A and B are shown apart, each in its own frame.
Chain A
Amino acid sequence: MTPITRDRPFLLLVALLVILSVAMPLLTGTGLAPSRYLTNAIGQLAAFAVLALALDLIWGYLGILSLGHGLFFAIGGYVVAMYLLKHSFVVTGTVPDFLQFMGWKEFPFYWAGFEFFPYALGVAVAVTLLVSGIFGYVSFRSRVGGVYFAIITQALVYVAMLLMFRNDTGFGGNNGMTGFSVILGQPMGTSGMITALAVASLVTLALVLVGCRWLVGSRFGALMLATRDDETRLRTLGYETLRLKLIVWCLSALLAMLAGMLYVPQVGIINPRVLSPELSLEIAVWVAIGGRGHLVGAVIGALLVNALKFWLSSAAPDVWPFILSGLIVLVVLVFPNGLMDLAKFRLTRPMGPKRMEPNRMEPNRMEPNRMARGIGEARP
């Protein structure tokens, strides 16, 4: 792997994120400040980029495709929504809509303590680790992998969606939760708060990006790639790949949870739709388009696809599914490494020998049918 100091795309992206996080608050009040809508969109995109990194870690670097990462995203989202509702209630006395719909006089007992952010954060981490840990341990121990694992994760997120659609669970049911008015004692919806949340998302993205880069460049990262390329070989060299996979899986789940916690305060609502299989599939599309096994690629993929979606779903909502499907077909057939293939064409040709080394990740060059690898490998 390219040493960090020569990894230009990575350094450029980190620099860009740092500049944005510093500039946005500084520009507030001046004519140059981005609009509330744009600021909010940037913040949401940053949260999605964290989600894409979470999936890239487990899919691109470990070869394990999850089609259920929406589950961990939703855990973060629901827990932060509970915090926001309870906190808003404590501060302003506003009774949340879902309690009124159900005709309940008070919060269910398990909402106790959610007005405290550290407690809510602790619960989110604990639930995420519990769900990902048990699910990962059982699957990896019985050596479930590839397409079977992907299908089970998809089923898991679907089951969670059905559960959350029920109105009597005390989590808002099909209407979800909305009406957040106070966060950390401050009113929500002000320009200042919108900027603050966007900056928090950008900073988190930068930190997660740097952390992931450090991880994949370490000895542990080499072992992740080794597991992806030939797990049996690594096991017969004395390594407990079960532990390694479990660690990365839980870490990836935590990052997805973090993305959910950043996302929900910025959209102001959560409902069971985040648990729909479509969202979880879409995450895989972002990563595939950006280039699996490439951190910067995952971020760019998430940004591009979502920016396109933001724009098209208002300009021409009906064609969006077709565009998305078209992109997938294009990636699978023409650019198996997503945009990283495009970068190659562009940067190696015209600049000749003084290339930028945009992609030294030769190993991830996958012929189209290897795209399915990691998906298709059944073990006897």
Chain B
Amino acid sequence: MSLTALLVDGLTVRFGSFRAIDDLSLAIDYGEVRAVIGPNGAGKTTLLDVISGITRPKQGRVLFDGAHDITRWSESAIARAGLRRKFQKPSVFEGLTVRQHIAIGADVGFRSRLDAPALEDRIGEVLETVGLAEQGERLAGQLGHGHKQWLEIGMVLASDPRVLMLDEPVAGLTDEETERTARLVRALVRPDRAIVVVEHDMDFVERIADRVTVLHEGRTLFEGSMDKVRADKAVVEVYLGR
């Protein structure tokens, strides 16, 4: 197993004449929580879109596990390879119960490959982790915003992903919910898993991130620990402000 989970190499994404991502290169290792921050339009979500197969890049590669260029793979093939993503806007299935979400996330296929008790165990375990054990039978459409965020994290977590992408996991959450989410994200760290978080909440980023990549106009502006990010003049100027 390679130490680098994702190697983004010379990536360029264009929408018309606009370069959403401009010759971007970065490496994300197994075992780390990487935060990607930057002003609106910096290319954060676009980067996740490329990694999850929703957007095709103009140029460049994304190597998963050091070997596979996934930029031509379909969304579903990428997900089956172990790269899972929570979307910015909580994306859950309003008509299904919480348990059904985890069952869908845990096992890919029109028929379940896990036997019933194993699946039940897995569902219970995941619901416990994301703190929704009490809500199992509720319909996702009836959940509050915070619970929807956790449900989606649970759903992508259920398959034990190698790469976990979280797009604004604390947007719209209360302070208490943010705190809980931070503990959750740290609890998901494993030596064989990379976690990529896009977020605007700097205190949250500071709590969870091992390293921070600051994007600006589709390029890396700075990379390092949160302390160093806060001290960097260029970052303060374009993003953090003072």
| B108 in the interface (beta carbon within 8 A) | yes
Check if A363 sits within 8 Å of B75, measured CB to CB: no
Contact of B92 among A233, A235, A238, A364 (CB under 8 A): A233
Check if A362 sits within 8 Å of B103, measured CB to CB: no
**What range describes how many residues of A lie at the interface?**
20 to 34
| B242 in the interface (beta carbon within 8 A) | no
Check if A237 sits within 8 Å of B93, measured CB to CB: no
| Complex Cα gap A232–B79 (Å) | 12
**What range describes how many residues of B lie at the interface?**
20 to 34
Check if A235 sits within 8 Å of B76, measured CB to CB: yes
B82 to chain A, nearest CB (A): 9
Which one of A126-134, A153-161, A220-228, A266-274 is at the B interface?
Answer: A220-228
Within 8 A of A (CB), among B77-114: 77-80, 84-85, 87, 91-96, 100, 103-105, 108, 110-112
Cβ–Cβ < 8 Å partners of A232 in chain B: 54, 75, 91
| Complex Cα gap A226–B139 (Å) | 12
Chain A residue with minimal CB distance to B55? A380
Majority-rule SS of A interface residues: helix
Contact of B79 among A223, A230, A236, A362 (CB under 8 A): A236
Contact of B108 among A229, A239, A293 (CB under 8 A): A239
| A244 in the interface (beta carbon within 8 A) | yes
Most buried by A among B87, B92, B100: B100
Check if B110 sits within 8 Å of A244, measured CB to CB: yes
| Complex Cα gap A241–B93 (Å) | 14
| B47 in the interface (beta carbon within 8 A) | no
Cβ–Cβ < 8 Å partners of B108 in chain A: 237-239
Within 8 A of A (CB), among B45-73: 52-54
| Complex Cα gap A239–B142 (Å) | 25
Check if B84 sits within 8 Å of A237, measured CB to CB: yes
Q: Given A232-B75, A363-B139, A364-B95, does the pair A226, B104 have CB atoms closer than 8 Å?
A: yes
| Complex Cα gap A225–B140 (Å) | 12
Chain B residue with minimal CB distance to A240? B76
| B159 in the interface (beta carbon within 8 A) | yes
Check if A238 sits within 8 Å of B110, measured CB to CB: no
| A144 in the interface (beta carbon within 8 A) | no
| B155 in the interface (beta carbon within 8 A) | yes
Check if B142 sits within 8 Å of A222, measured CB to CB: no
Cβ–Cβ < 8 Å partners of B84 in chain A: 236-237
Binding site for A on B (CB under 8 A): 52-54, 74-80, 84-85, 87, 91-96, 100, 103-105, 108, 110-112, 139, 141-142, 155-156, 159
21 CB contacts below 8 A, A to B, read A219-B112, A220-B111, A222-B96, A222-B103, A223-B110, A225-B93, A225-B95, A226-B95, A229-B93, A232-B91, A237-B76, A237-B108, A237-B159, A238-B76, A238-B79, A238-B108, A239-B76, A362-B141, A362-B142, A363-B96, A363-B139
Binding site for B on A (CB under 8 A): 219-220, 222-223, 225-226, 228-230, 232-241, 243-244, 293, 361-364
